[in-house]
Amino acid sequence: MSAEVPLWEVFIRPRNGLAHKHVGSLHAADEVMALNAARDVYTRRGEGNSIWVVPSASISASDPDQAGENFEPGDKIYRHPTFYEIPDEVGHM
C-alpha cells in the first residue's frame, strides 16, 4: 500500500517561540491525512504544539557529490566573527 501513497516530511514545533524542527516522515494520501498521521506518529508524548507536513517530493536537496565545494570552507577563519572586542556594556550577544 505504501508504494502508492505519497511520502511526507513532518516538522514539529516543540514550544511557542521555537522553530519547527524536522522529526521524520510518513505516508499519507493527502495533507489532511498526513497531519492526522503526524499527530498519531510523532506527538503522542506531548512533543509539540504545532505540526507542518510537506510533500517529500517538494523538497530540493543539495547534491552529496558537491559536499566538498559546499561544506568545506577550509581555513577561512576570518569568516568566524571572533576578531572583535565586545565592550562589556553590550552585555550578552
> Which chain residues interact with other proteins by CB under 8 A?
1-2, 5, 26-29, 32-33, 36-37, 39-41, 44
Concatenating the DSSP letter of every residue in 50-77 gives EEEEEEGGG-----GGGHHHHH---S-G
Q: Grid coordinates in use for 73? A: 570552507
Burial of 20 (0-12, 13-18, 19+ CB in 10 A): middle
**Nearer residue to other proteins within complex by CB, 1 or 90:** 1
**Cβ of residue 49: shortest distance to other proteins, in angstroms?**
14
**Nearer residue to other proteins within complex by CB, 18 or 32:** 32
**Nearer residue to other proteins within complex by CB, 29 or 67:** 29
